[in-house]
Structure 1
Amino acid sequence: MNKPIIGVLGSIRRDSDADFVCVDRTYTNTACIRALDRNGGVPILVPVPEVPTLADPALALCDGLLFPGGWDVDPRHYGEPPHATLGPVLPELDAFWFHAAAYAMERRIPMLGICRGMQLLNVACGGSLYQDIGERPEKNLLHAQQLRRDTPTHKVLIEPESRLRRILDAESAYTNTLHHQSVKNLGKGLAISARAEDGVVEAIESPDGLIVAVQWHPEDLQTTAPAMNHLFEDLCDRALRYRKDRA
């Protein structure tokens, strides 16, 4: 097989079944799977285990990892008490995702972070978050759109020498926006690669190409902003090189 295996980190959702019994489900959004299918990868869902290390055999199969969107990151991971504006957090989810990030960094497995995924990777590298962007001293644009997820809403300005500039081949891009947390202090070894016009950090990356992460949801823009497919192509390209290097 000449396609890389991309592990998509699962999330947790509590649903009611037909008998009105609450059950926890591990899932990821279909759009993430389709984006990898269409852009050169073989996606597999990596479920949230009871103990993070139980996922190691599954992580070992992966040539790349996708950290998708989802719940807020618990501020305990960057040494802050919870603010009144903090949304729901899931300790078992955070524990698994932080373990997966450390696993990937140690083994140099390429990563792509989306929304929560970007925020968590920043914290995993020692950074911190605004628990709500309303904490920023600056005036904020709208970052939680009420339009369809596939609707580009605001512009992001891309740094000239960044990997993201090479991936999207553009000085700026219009993106969707569906978040209330954002990067505050940048993690060690990371660089800001894009900002919104109000200064909110919209993308980060590591200079060595191990981490590329964006605050928006490119998986929902595959047809309305086709250039966003390049983010998934880039992950698959990096993953394929990793696979060949470890063969």
Structure 2
Amino acid sequence: MNDKPLIGVPAMSSAKITGLRYSGSVVANAVLEAIARAGGEPVIISPVVGSDIWGQLDGIVLPGGSDINPARYGEEADESYAGTDFAGQDDADSRAIAAAEELGLPTLLICRGMQLWNVERGGTMIQHWPSEPQQHVDTIHEVDVEADSRLAQALAPVQDGAGGGAVSVSSYHHQAVGRLGRGLRVVARGPDDCVEALEDPEHNIVAVQWHPEDRAATLPVDQALFDWVVREASQFKTQQLARI
């Protein structure tokens, strides 16, 4: 019997994969490695096939990726739009978020994952965030984390028990949260007021705009988010087994 908690990782459908003749479903190795390092068992979930796997999982990590179709929040695409290769990607990822909420699964939403959560709650996106005064594409910058947040609790083990305050993050996005979705709370912002993390007190979900997987192998503050979701998933698994 595998004692490791199963962490579902929804994949992106990519039109071109080196070594394949046709499209493939992919997840960044850095995400999978960070989950494994935390003691979890990552399970890749393809967006191109229907799945009833959600009830077999103990947690979810929804990675980043291409832009959400703006029609989903009632807008037309501007010239900066860079959509997904697979037309059903938004629907597939939204199913992962719905499963997380309905089943109470501990979940980490990264970049696009956080943005889609906001959109699914009726929020909007700023389709192209200005690069000044703070660049957000392929850069390192600080965000300010609310001390009373679930995010702060996740970071606390590597921040001397504090968790809140300034945190260095690896940023790669050109869009940002606009109107806030129903029930969501902003728990971190960048120096330019960009929304950097969202939570809902009703759900065990941490959603961040940055990419903790980028430096998780070397920086405890980034690995801490994967440690958190795996730790919570392990507790979830124990609780579920106790009900059997």
* TM-score scaled by length of structure 2: 0.88
CA contact (8 A) 2:8 2:44 kept: yes
How much does 1:246 deviate? 2.6
What secondary structure does 1:133 align onto? coil
Percent of pairs with identical residues? 34
Which segments of 5 or more consecutive residues in structure 1 lack a partner in the other structure? 148-152
Distance 1:30 1:163 in 2: 26
How much does 1:27 deviate? 0.7
* Compared CA separation, residues 17 and 219, structure 1 to 2 (3 A): closer
Equivalent of 2:104, from 89, 99, 108?
108
Residue identity opposite 2:174 in structure 1? H
Q: Residue in 2 aligned with 1:125? A: 121
Equivalent of 2:68, from 63, 68, 73?
73
Q: Which moved more, 1:66-75 or 1:164-173?
A: 164-173
Task: Write the mapping of 1:1-247 to structure 2, written as runs, cut at 5 A.
Answer: 1-15=2-16, 23-50=22-49, 54-56=50-52, 58-89=53-84, 90-134=86-130, 139-145=132-138, 153-168=140-155, 169-247=163-241
CA contact (8 A) 1:156 1:196 kept: yes
* Compared CA separation, residues 75 and 39, structure 1 to 2 (3 A): same
Q: 1:167-221 deviations in whole A, cap 9, x for unaligned?
A: 2224111111100011111222221111110000111112234210111110111
Distance 2:8 2:35 in 1: 10
Q: 1:18-75 deviations in whole A, cap 9, x for unaligned?
A: 6xx851110100000000000121101001124xxx212x222211111101111111
Distance 1:34 1:9 in 2: 15
What secondary structure does 2:148 align onto? coil
CA contact (8 A) 1:14 1:22 kept: no
Distance 2:56 2:170 in 1: 32
Distance 1:187 1:245 in 2: 30
CA contact (8 A) 2:13 2:48 kept: no
CA contact (8 A) 2:34 2:217 kept: no
Corresponding pairs, count: 232
What secondary structure does 1:43 align onto? strand
What secondary structure does 2:94 align onto? helix
Q: Which moved more, 1:154-163 or 1:86-95?
A: 86-95
What secondary structure does 2:4 align onto? coil
Which segments of 5 or more consecutive residues in structure 2 lack a partner in the other structure? 156-162
What secondary structure does 1:161 align onto? coil
Structure 1 ranges of 4+ moved more than 3 A: none
* Compared CA separation, residues 194 and 17, structure 1 to 2 (3 A): closer
Distance 2:75 2:236 in 1: 36
Residue identity opposite 2:38 in structure 1? N
